[in-house]
Every structure is written in C-alpha cells, then in structure tokens.
Amino acid sequence: MKRFTNILTQSIDRLADSGVRSAARGHGRRSFLEKTSRVLLGAAVVGAVLPFDRRVNAATIRADGDTETLPEDICSYWRHCALDGFLCSTAGGTSSSCPPGSTVSAVAWIGTCTNPDDGKDYLVSYNDCCGKPLVDASTYCYTSQGERPGYRMGLYNDINWCMANTEKGYHCTVAVVVSAAK
Amino acid sequence: MKLIWVAVMLLVVSAQSAAEGMSAESNYILRCAGCHRMDGMGAAAAGVPEFPDSIGHIAATEKGRLYLLHVPGVISSSLTDQEIADVLNLILDRWGEGAASYFREDEVQTLRAKPVANVVEYRRALVEELRQQGIRLAEYPW
C-alpha cells in the first residue's frame, strides 16, 4: 500500500513538474510582460487618438452617479444674462468658441452681467456663430436682460449678428467676457 | 414683507447705479463696440464705417460735428451730454489722428438740440462736401 502511495505521489510530482516546465517554456515572464505592455500601450495610444467629448469628462458626477449639466449649458448661467439665442456650448462648441465649421460674427450685442462669485459687473459680448444650420437639440435662451424695444436701436438684440459676415446663416451664440464694467 | 420689498428696491437701485456712471471705455464697449468693434474698424457690409482716417475728418468740420451727434446710436444712447462727449473724445483719441478738437458737454447739448431731419441725406451732403476738399471718408453703403 505504501509502495502504491509512493508511485502515485511520484507520478503526480512528475506530471506537475512537466506541466509547470512546459508552461514556463511556453509562457515565459518576458512573454507575459510583452503581452501586457502591448495591451497597455495600445490602450494609451487608442485612448489618446480616438475622439472624445471633453464636456462629458468635465461634467460633475453627483453622489447618486448621475452627471450634472455644466453651468454654461444652462440659460441661468450668469454670463448668459442678456442672451437671445441658442447656446453654442450645446451645439458642438463652447460658451466662448464657435463650433467647428462656423465663423464668429463680426458685429455683436454687448450686455452687462453680474458675476455672483465676486459680485462685480462684466461686459459680455454675445457674438453669433455663422454659416451652419441650427442644431435642433441645442438649448435656446431668452434672457435679454437690459434689452429694449426696436426704437431703442442700440439696446435691441433681435438681430441676426451674422449680417456682416459672408455666411449670414445663424448657427448659435457665444458669451465672451470683454472686460469688467467700471 | 415690507423689508423684503425695501431690500429688492435697494438691489434694483444699486444695479441701476452700477450701470450708470461708467467710464468712457466701458460705455464705448457697451454701446458702440458691438458694431464699431474694439479696433474701430466697424463692418462696412453692415453699414458700420471704420473710424481711422475718417472720424477725425468728420469731427474737424462744424457740419460733421452736428452729424456725429445725430448718428442713431449716439442720439439714442441714453448717455448724458458729458458721457457722450467723453466717449466721442475717446474715439477721437484712438482714431481721430489729432485732426479735430475735443467735444465739450455744452457743445453736445447744443448740437443734440438742433434738428436733423434725414441723417442719411445729411451725411451724403457732408461726404460730398469733404470729397470736394479732397477728403475721402471710409466706405459706407448708404
């Protein structure tokens, strides 16, 4: 019985030994490192090259896991206090730059908004972006603080500010701080 | 409730006073730069002529000074006579090439009170008058 047990354990030893050696020959540490590095490098390159939405990354993730809308994507954002139009930040651009393929208007409506963070007034230029059609899903805002009827021409903003551009089609509106109001 | 209304009214008053009494620079940005732009180059295609080599010639004549005070954006600017003078002088400083004298508050008051029936026709007559003196103003589609 003892002899049978010895034979059995020796057989298991040999089997395990040959298996491990065989695995070591086929899957050396270098092979493992090489494959792992390929995966990591591939992920790094693909991650950097593939297009991605910065705004999704920039959105705040709340405790419940949902993402919050960026402040500049909503009409009540302080810089939008005198805006009448569609937000470029919801049409493929940002709150201060036109979406690719559109051009910024030469002329603009300028309003005064109070920044709640420092309580100061700022002069904000509402330039239209021109030369592309409207984006149906973009957010429309009509805050127009300080706007006056058409007979007060300089304070009237129901105007297509793309009028001075070669491409006159209205796409969306950006809100750029020009300077502090003083 | 009364206190709330008092607070609200105070906020409204402070907001208004913040809008008033701005510097000539801020008034230029807020009321002129939207069309005339920060560099004074305007947008001729939209009927906004450029300032350089033009505004100084206009302000150097009596007729031109009356015209400037009846430019629609000036006469409807809701600024005081002094504020209008300050903004016009800022424009002369930047783009007037020293061709004209500064505006004063009393002059602005006098010129604003003078009637100009058709400002576009008035401008055409001014352009023609200057052209005969060998001065060409900036492009203007009207």
Q: With an 8 Å Cβ cutoff, is A109 touching chain B?
A: yes
Do A86 and A153 fall into the same domain?
yes
CA of A105 to nearest chain B CA: how many angstroms apart? 10
In a domain, A103, yes or no: yes
Of B97, B23, B101, nearest to B62 by C-alpha is B101
Q: What is the mean pLDDT of chain B?
A: 87
Rounded to an integer, what distance in angstroms lies between the CA atom of residue B136 and that of residue B53?
9
Q: Identify the pLDDT of residue B96.
A: 97
Hey, what are B57's tokens?
Answer: 């010639």
Six token digits for residue A180: 């502090």
Give strand pairing partners of A121. A114
Answer yes or no: do B43 and A106 touch at CB < 8 A.
Answer: yes
Q: Is residue A41 domain-shared with residue A91, that is, in the same domain? A: no
Would you say residue A58 lies in a domain? no
Q: What is the pLDDT of residues A85-111, one digit of tens each?
A: 999 999 999 999 999 999 999 999 999
Which is more confidently placed, A22 or B58?
Answer: B58
Give residue-wise pLDDT tens across range A43-80. 444 433 333 343 443 444 556 666 667 888 999 999 99
| pLDDT above 60: residue B117 | yes
**DSSP alpha helices (H): ranges in A50-129?**
54-58
What pLDDT is attached to residue A55?
Answer: 42
Catalytic residues of A: 109, 128
Q: Are A156 and A149 in contact (CB under 8 A)?
A: yes
Closest CA to A122 of A98, A145, A151, A92: A145
Claim to verify: residue A29 and residue A75 sit in the same structural domain: no
- Check A154 against B73: CB less than 8 A apart: yes
Total domain count for chain A?
2
Whole domain around residue A25: which residue ranges? 2-49
**In order of start, what are the domains of chain B with their CATH numbers?**
24-132 (1.10.760.10)
Let me know: does A123 contact A178? Beta carbons within 8 Å: yes
pLDDT range class, residue B45, cuts 50, 70, 90: confident
Answer yes or no: do B37 and A106 touch at CB < 8 A. yes
Whose CA is closest to B54, among B132, B130, B133? Answer: B130
Q: Is residue A18 located within the same domain as residue A90? A: no
CB contact at 8 A, B126 and B67: yes
Contact B23, B82 (CB under 8 A): no
The pLDDT tens digits of the residues spanning A126-168 come to 999 999 999 999 999 999 888 888 777 667 888 889 988 999 9
Alpha-carbon distances, residue B9 vs A144, B4, B5 (angstroms): 21, 9, 6
Same domain, A33 and A89: no
Nearest to A109 among B25, B34, B38 (CB): B34
| Residue B7 confidence (pLDDT) | 39
